[in-house]
Amino acid sequence: MVVSNTGPLLHLGEADALILLSWTGEVSIPRAVDREMNQQNPLWQGQRPTWIHVQGLTASYKIEAEAWQQAGLLPGSSEKESLPRNIFRWRGEEIANETDDLFFPCQPSHKRRNGLPFFPFIL
């Protein structure tokens, strides 16, 4: 799974290479990233690939994202930090380790995908 903020989507789109993200499997973005993409590219809403899933945050993770914003992150980035934990809690899974490094994989959870350790990526 990949969770992205606005930057990678915007710049891969500018390079006409957004399709590369689809090769990673499941791609999710928070609603704030979707709004930021609409502001940057008015055609985004009609052109957003169907393999990019827009996901909202539950109340507790919205509070977490607001704290990130108060610390200086933009809305899309703050929701991007909270969304992976929100998704995994919703699925009943856990991320074994958190990361705030670009393209750095989290430690695999106890779950496996197709017999392989599951490494969520956060862009």
**Would strands 112-113 and 52-55 be described as parallel, antiparallel, or unpaired?**
unpaired
pLDDT at 79: 85
Residue range 109-116: average pLDDT? 46
pLDDT at 112 over 70: no
pLDDT at position 92 is 53
- Mean pLDDT over the full length of the chain: 76
Report pLDDT digits (tens) over 39-94. 999 899 999 999 999 998 888 888 888 888 888 888 888 888 888 877 776 555 54
Confidence at residue 34, expressed as pLDDT on a 0 to 100 scale: 94
Let me know if 100 is exposed, middle or buried by CB neighbors in 10 A (0-12, 13-18, 19+): exposed
pTM over 0.75: no
Residue ranges and CATH numbers for the domains of the chain are 2-122 (3.40.50)
Q: Using 50, 70 and 90 to split pLDDT, how confident is the model at 122?
A: low
